[in-house]
Amino acid sequence: MVPPSPELSSWATNISPSPTLAVDAKAKALKAEGKDVCGFGAGEPDFDTPDFIKEACIQAIRDGKTKYGPAAGLMPLRESIAAKYARDNEVAGVHATQVVVSPGGKYSCTLGIQAVVSPGDEVIIPAPFWVSYPEMVKLAGGVPVILFAGKEQGFKITPEQLRAAATEKSKLLILNSPSNPTGAVYNREEMEAIVEVALELGLYILSDEIYEYLLYDGVEHVSPASFSDEAFARTITVGGFSKTFSMTGWRLGTLVASPSVAKACTSLQSQTTSGPNTFAQYGALAAMERWDQAMAVVKEMLTHFDRRRLKLLNGLNAIEGVDCPRAQGAFYLFADISAFDMAATEFATCVLEEKLVAVVPGEGFGAPGYIRLSYATSDEVIEKGAARLKEFCADL
Ligand SMILES: *Cc1c(COP(=O)(O)O)cnc(C)c1O
């Protein structure tokens, strides 16, 4: 008999698996059985990576760029990212050494959190939140403090809420505009008001701007780091290639931070992943160097996303009991289903089993009573899926 193993670590025991990936896995399994599933679970664009980016990566492999690279990423790529922030985000004066390229925006967030959060520090996370933030904070020994902002306030926290949540232990505020899961976008005035309070409270800000180029209705994206020298010094700006250029599988993310934070992130990265994939970075570099060409592809993608967004929005709001705000960023809608006498998890499970429609329940985003639907899927799926949802809700 093998004696029982010692118990797992407190980290392992306290972390929960990503619920968004779980729904997607279940929907994919049903699909693999040949079932006609309408999937709204996807957390990635349904377009392919632009060819010229792929070609640059393939060429890099042919040229033997297959060895370890610098831990913080290739210098030409970091330089082009610094230039992008000056050009597109009004964040001037970024030195390339303040840019860290990582294996994915998710890991960029992890690094930023690890760099500034000590055990016992409180981290303020507005809800609905991206599922990974609280878990990342817990892995750093930090304590997530959740601030809920429902649809009545456009899924955006107010400066008053932030002030009321702060304590002596508060260390970091996490912002995510445009938001996953809500698609909400803070306008300049709203963002400035939040950042002003955060600075006054002496907080660091992790600004996850991974969806910065996926905007609709003519809204603009604003970067907290652009507001002042102080805001720049205190903000860790996360970006990346996954969502903008349909490069989720490439595993490339970026962060821009003060010299000391960037240096800490580089050390953490060098001791954990050694850095991002070398040849993948050559693909990303092609996107940065041929920016106009890359943006033309993004613009085309956005026309499809926008059309699908409105189609799904109209479909959802035509269902009695469903109320869905008009999201203006990313590729998600976040619908209120609290009118039904049913938890969101149960709603999602039943609608998948009975109508083969995959949606993500709100509980994992800190928002029971809501479901997330991704419109990174075809027009046909949106039409069929919305009709099935309507049937499902009519029977409740
Ligand atoms: C997708 C996503 C990321 C990063 O994704 P990677 O695939 O790791 O680059 C970061 N933040 C949010 C909110 C996301 O939805």
Say whether pLDDT at 25 is over 90.
no
Centre of ligand 1 to C-alpha 309, Å, is 20
Give the mean pLDDT of 348-361: 95
Is the predicted pLDDT of residue 11 greater than 90, yes or no? Answer: no
Pocket test for ligand 1, best of 212, 221, 241, 242 (most atoms within 8 A of CB): 242
Average pLDDT over residues 15-21: 73
At 370 the pLDDT is 98
Is 89 in contact with 225 (CB distance < 8 Å)?
yes
25-39, 216-230, 236-250, 296-310: which has the minimum mean pLDDT? 25-39
**Helix pair angle (278-289, 291-317), 10° resolution:** 90
Averaged pLDDT, 143-163? 98
Shortest-distance atom of ligand 1 to CA 253? 9
Q: How far away, in angstroms, is 210 Cα from ligand 1 center?
A: 6
Average pLDDT over residues 6-24: 80
pLDDT of residue 43: 86
For 264-288, what is each residue's pLDDT tens digit? 999 999 999 999 999 999 999 999 9
3-state secondary structure of 264: helix
Whether residue 381 is predicted with pLDDT greater than 90 in this model: the reply is yes
- Which of 180, 207, 255, 273 for a ligand 1 pocket mutation test, highest count of atoms within 8 Å of Cβ? 180
What pTM was estimated for this model as a whole?
0.96
For all residues of the chain together, what is the average pLDDT? 96
DSSP assignment, residue 253?
E
Q: Which two tokens stand for residue 52?
A: 């010229």
Residues in contact with ligand 1 by the CB-under-6-Å rule are: 43, 104-106, 130, 176, 180, 208, 210, 240, 242-243, 248, 253
Domains with residue ranges and CATH for the chain: 10-49+294-394 (3.90.1150.10), 67-290 (3.40.640.10)
Share of the chain above pLDDT 70, in %: 99
DSSP-H helix ranges across 166-289 = 188-200, 229-234, 259-272, 278-289
Give the span between the Cα atoms of 306 and 139, in whole angstroms: 37
User: How many percent of the chain have pLDDT more than 90?
Assistant: 92
Closest Cα to atom 4, ligand 1: which residue? 105
Q: Grade residue 19 by pLDDT with cuts at 50, 70 and 90.
A: low
Choice from 110, 113, 129, 210 to test ligand 1 binding pocket (greatest atom count within 8 A of CB) = 210
Taking 80 as the threshold, does the pLDDT of residue 65 lie above it? Answer: yes
**Using CA atoms, how far apart are residues 177 and 328, in angstroms rounded to an integer?**
10
C-alpha of residue 206 to centroid of ligand 1, in Å: 13
pLDDT of 18 strictly over 80: no
Q: Give pLDDT tens digits for 114-140.
A: 999 999 999 999 999 999 999 999 999
Contacts of residue 313, Cβ cutoff 8 Å, sequence gap at least 6: 324, 326, 327, 333
Give pLDDT tens digits for 190-241: 999 999 999 999 999 999 999 999 999 999 999 999 999 999 999 999 999 9
Residue tagged 């990423």 (tokens): 73
- What is 317-381 written as a DSSP string? HTSTT-B-----BTTEEEEE-TTSSS-HHHHHHHHHHHH-EE-EEGGGGT-TTEEEEE--S-HHH
> What's the mean pLDDT in 13-39?
84
Q: Does residue 20 surpass a pLDDT of 70?
A: no
